[in-house]
């Protein structure tokens, strides 16, 4: 009897329940809420489910799957490999920038740059939408965040999860959890965030504008485009070569016509594997003693402001292009200048069709949308140059 009692007492003393902190309980509840949003509400489920489960695992007392103390400024990878938990090992891909770059390769293989090639002026709407990044940068600095942290928060406005992770893991890795969760959560909420801003800044007449069909784009143009963008952009901003280089390589696999197997692998198998590793290891950084703070609340608020300003900047520039084109460009497509492909373009299509059922803006909106992918990477490169 004493043996049984001693065994039960020993198990109780070494279980996670014995060392459970109230903050860990709160984080477990938060992770369950995020799982609900990903599974039931389908908010970016491919990423949010993994992020939420990684958050759950890292906040279970005694699990030992992730050690935030290993990931300071000077990382000893020997210690990580010898003493690290499962998520420490997976996090190496985040810390070294491998996962975001491979995600960009998959995005490139799934992206059609034809609308941007057919109407190069779309690039300006994609650039204008990055205004939300710099508004958030100024606000974050004014709220007392250090410049590197402010830059990492600001990149949320680009609506580009991989880019936000890539920049934050360099400038402010201790804030990776809240920044990644804010970025992907707001990306999922784009259909709710953008339409009110689009309606506020445009007239009914502008929303009803029908745009001419885009010109056909030749195969040669599609092949040359990723090569030239890589050369020009990476010469101007060498630091973005990992992201933009992989984005354009993935697109070249798709367009060149001789690497179908590679394109298929990048779009499907590789993309799915990297997404799993990226999401669960990013979620692991949301450790209770770092995540539950006023800074996290400020980051969530600033992220929303950044998204709103990014949408507004894109729409306002779309209005300018509408005027300059003599009323041939529907300013709604400017909202697609954020980097969430193709969700933002679909929102432009949805709002436009609501006011004119015969309006088909999707392909026109894809121009600013894919330009936003390039723009957010360039903006991240500029911030890294300034604050890195």
Tens-place pLDDT, residues 140-149: 999 999 999 9
Give pLDDT, residue 364. Answer: 94
pLDDT digits (tens, 9 = 90+) for 311-348: 999 999 999 999 999 999 999 999 999 988 888 999 99
Nearest to 133 by CA among 150, 116, 147: 150
Q: Residue 177 in contact with residue 282, Cβ under 8 Å?
A: yes
* Residue 4 pLDDT class (50, 70, 90 cuts): low
Give pLDDT, residue 197. Answer: 96
Report phi then psi at 355, rounded to 5.
-100, -20
Residue 378 pLDDT > 70, yes or no?
yes
Q: How far apart are CA 114 and CA 111, in angstroms?
A: 9
Residue 3 pLDDT > 60, yes or no?
no
Q: Residue 53 in contact with residue 282, Cβ under 8 Å?
A: no
Number of C-beta neighbours around residue 60 at 10 A: 15
Domain count, the chain: 1
Q: Is residue 331 part of a domain?
A: yes
Q: Is residue 258 part of a domain?
A: yes
Q: Is residue 240 part of a domain?
A: yes
Give pLDDT, residue 248. Answer: 97
Nearest to 269 by CA among 261, 259, 280: 261
- List of residues 6+ apart from 266 with CB closer than 8 A: 105, 106, 109, 250, 253
Report phi then psi at 109, rounded to 5.
-70, -20
Residue 304 pLDDT > 60, yes or no?
yes
The helix/strand/coil state of 159 is coil
Give pLDDT, residue 171. Answer: 92
pLDDT digits (tens, 9 = 90+) for 95-128: 898 999 999 999 999 999 999 999 999 999 999 9
Whether residue 67 has a cis bond before it, omega within 30° of 0: no
Q: Is residue 77 part of a domain?
A: no
Q: How far apart are CA 339 and CA 123, in angstroms?
A: 12
Q: What DSSP string runs through 61-117?
A: TT--S--GGG-SSS--HHHHHHH--HHHHHHHHHHTTHHHHHHHHHHHHT---HHHH
Q: Residue 105 is part of which domain span?
A: 95-387
Q: Is 341 exposed, middle or buried (0-12, 13-18, 19+ CB in 10 A)?
A: buried
Structural tokens at position 171: 């400038």
What torsion do the CA atoms of 148, 151, 152, 158 make, to the nearest 10 degrees?
-170
Give pLDDT, residue 262. Answer: 97
Q: Is residue 325 part of a domain?
A: yes
Structural tokens at position 170: 């360099």
How confident is the model over 29-50, as a mean pLDDT? 90
Q: Is residue 51 part of a domain?
A: no
Q: Is residue 14 part of a domain?
A: no
* Residue 54 pLDDT class (50, 70, 90 cuts): very high
Structural tokens at position 84: 């690290």
Q: Residue 68 in contact with residue 290, Cβ under 8 Å?
A: yes
pLDDT digits (tens, 9 = 90+) for 132-191: 999 999 999 999 999 999 999 999 988 888 999 999 989 998 898 889 888 887 887 888
Q: How far apart are CA 309 and CA 136, in angstroms?
A: 8
Q: Is residue 170 part of a domain?
A: yes
Instruction: Look up the pTM and report it.
Output: 0.90
Residue 383 pLDDT > 90, yes or no?
yes
pLDDT digits (tens, 9 = 90+) for 255-289: 999 999 999 999 999 999 999 999 999 899 889 88
Q: How far apart are CA 203 and CA 212, in angstroms?
A: 20
């Amino acid at each position: 009897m004493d043996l049984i009692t001693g065994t039960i007492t020993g198990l109780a003393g070494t279980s996670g329940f014995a060392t459970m902190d109230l903050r860990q309980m709160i984080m477990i509840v938060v992770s369950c809420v995020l799982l609900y949003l990903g599974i039931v509400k389908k908010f970016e489920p491919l990423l949010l489910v993994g992020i939420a489960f990684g958050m759950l695992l890292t906040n279970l007392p005694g699990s030992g799957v992730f050690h935030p103390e290993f990931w300071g400024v000077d990382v000893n990878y020997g210690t990580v490999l010898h003493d690290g938990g499962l998520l420490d090992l997976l996090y190496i891909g985040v810390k070294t920038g491998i996962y975001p770059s491979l995600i960009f390769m998959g995005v490139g293989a799934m992206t059609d740059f034809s609308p941007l090639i057919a109407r190069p002026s779309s690039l300006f709407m994609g650039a204008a939408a990055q205004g939300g990044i710099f508004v958030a940068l100024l606000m974050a600095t004014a709220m007392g965040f250090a410049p590197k942290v402010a830059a990492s928060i600001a990149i949320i406005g680009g609506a580009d999860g991989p880019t936000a992770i890539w920049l934050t893991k360099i400038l402010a890795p201790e804030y990776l959890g809240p920044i990644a969760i804010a970025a992907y959560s707001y990306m999922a909420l784009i259909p709710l965030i953008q339409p009110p801003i689009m309606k506020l800044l445009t007239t009914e007449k502008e929303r009803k504008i029908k745009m001419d069909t885009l010109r056909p784009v030749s195969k040669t143009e599609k092949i040359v485009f990723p090569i030239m963008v890589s050369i020009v952009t990476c010469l101007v901003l060498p630091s973005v070569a990992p992201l933009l280089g992989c984005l354009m390589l993935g697109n070249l696999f798709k367009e060149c016509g001789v690497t179908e197997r590679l394109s298929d692998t990048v779009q499907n198998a590789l993309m799915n594997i990297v997404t799993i590793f990226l999401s669960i290891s990013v979620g692991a950084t949301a450790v209770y003693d770092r995540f539950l703070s006023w800074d996290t609340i400020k980051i969530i608020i600033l992220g929303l402001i950044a998204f709103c300003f990014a949408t507004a900047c894109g729409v306002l520039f779309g209005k300018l292009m509408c005027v300059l084109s003599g009323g041939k460009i529907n300013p709604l497509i400017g909202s697609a200048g954020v980097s969430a492909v193709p969700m933002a373009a679909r929102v432009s299509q949805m709002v436009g069709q609501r006011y004119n059922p015969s309006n088909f803006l999707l392909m026109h909106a894809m121009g600013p949308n894919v330009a936003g992918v390039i723009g957010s990477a360039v903006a991240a490169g500029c911030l890294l140059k300034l604050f890195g």
